[in-house]
Amino acid sequence: MAISALRQGLPSVGPALQTQFDLSLSQLGVLFGAVSLGIVLTVIPWGALADRRGERAVIGAGMTGAAVAIAVAASASSYPTLVGALVVAGMFGASATGASGRAVMGWFARSQRGLALGIRQTGVPLGGGLAAIALPLIVAGFSLRAALLSLAAGCLAAAATGWLWMREAPPPPPHRPAVRAPPPTRDRRLWRLSTGSGLLVVAQSSVLGFVVIYLHDERGWSPAAAAAVLAAVQVGGSAVRILAGRWSDRREERVAPMRWMALAGSVFLAATAVLTTGPDWLFVGAIAIAGILAMGWNGLSFTAAAELSGRERAGTAISVQNTVLSAGGALAPMLFAPLVEATSWSLAWATLTAFQLAGVAVLGASVTEERRRKAARDARLAAQATDGSWHSSTQIPTPVRQEPM
């Protein structure tokens, strides 16, 4: 929640940033992508460190560094200093990504993991939603500097939470079959999953990054009213992530539900492009649903990535996945803004639809591969049940350990 409040909440004060630093739309796009750029640079090393040293130290140290960097950003007097400080904040904030996902992999079994990671992933839109509501109010009541300092305080609270309450999961049962997979950085299945997810995140990042600016600049909405739309999208995205996680647990699939959500989101993104000159209520309804669906699949993507590599390398696997997602999240606003300036808002929204559909196409092979692994796992469990090698529940330390990877 803390790092997402920065990354996804920053667009809610876009008008204030434009005014204070005299920014063009393209410069604002670079600013919105700065945190994601920082995450790209360090998320894999943080994930590998979490696999070796555990989640507690990684989250505590990383989020403390993020708080310091955001405090520097709050005192920035120039645009380059602000961008640099936000990049550094992302570099430290990346610590929370692999570590928190690894913790979920350790504490929950396959039948609960989609829901658990869905709940974990609600921290992303909830952090952004709370920031979208609070930051414009803080700017209006105090200053932009006070708004950024409040984000730094949130990161310090997250660091303290990590130090105080994160605990290493109990060891897996000795009879659990090991996951046979290449190292995450050399697993072509993981890179394919990450590439498809990276194409999907372009729409997510662009909608979240520019809906406030569009409603404010093009339709004359107040900053607070436009930010309320962003907050609604974030809250809706939180609910969908939980529902999608539970749906995936029941289906015992992660990637197929991702594709269905992306296809549905593409319909509403296309409607958004058509309704750019339409009534406010129709446009807002279309872009809100498109944004909610564009946010709903993230938990499934991380779950699929972690399950490919197994618990022992989950931190690295999730970090590889998040490297690609953050790269897409960083590049999307940097490219979306110049596209708007060179063409139109309508064409820019339509372009997002094309990225969604490309992601759906790339993920098709991942669906087939996941179903093949599920069939092999079911066959192995049936064989173990037949020969009696999987009969003792007394060896399992906790109820959530009753299923293999």
Nearest CA-CA partner of 209 in 13, 32, 394, 369:
32
Lowest mean pLDDT, pick from 266-280, 316-330, 341-355, 356-370: 316-330
In a domain, 278, yes or no: yes
CB 286 within 8 Å of CB 265: no
The answer as to whether 289 is a domain residue is yes
Element (H, E) at 251: helix 223-251
**% of the chain beyond a pLDDT of 70:** 88
Do 359 and 200 form a contact (C-beta atoms < 8 A)?
yes
Q: What is the CATH number of the domain that holds 350?
A: 1.20.1250.20
Number of domains composing the chain: 1
pLDDT, tens digit, for every residue of 13-25?
Answer: 888 888 888 888 8
Task: Give φ, ψ of 296 to 5 degrees.
Answer: -75, -15
CA distances 78 to 29, 51, 70, 81, Å, are 16, 38, 14, 5
pLDDT category, 401, cuts 50, 70, 90?
very low
CA distance 272 to 353: 10
Q: Of the candidates 247, 346, 233, 343, which has an alpha carbon nearest to the alpha carbon of residue 289?
A: 233
| Residue 114 maps to a domain | yes
Residue-level pLDDT at 172: 64
Residue 202 lies in a domain: yes
Inside any domain, residue 275: yes
Distance CA 35, CA 6 (A): 8
| Separation between Cα atoms, residue 52 and residue 49, nearest integer Å | 5
What predicted TM-score, i.e. pTM, was given to this entire model?
Answer: 0.71
Measured at the CA of 299, the angle between CA 355 and CA 69, to 5 degrees, comes to 85
Per the structure, the complete domain to which residue 8 belongs is given by 2-164+183-387
Where are the alpha helices (H) located in 252-388, listed in sequence order? Answer: 255-274, 280-295, 298-309, 314-342, 345-387
pLDDT digits (tens, 9 = 90+) for 348-364: 999 999 999 999 999 99
Q: Which amino acid is at 124?
A: V
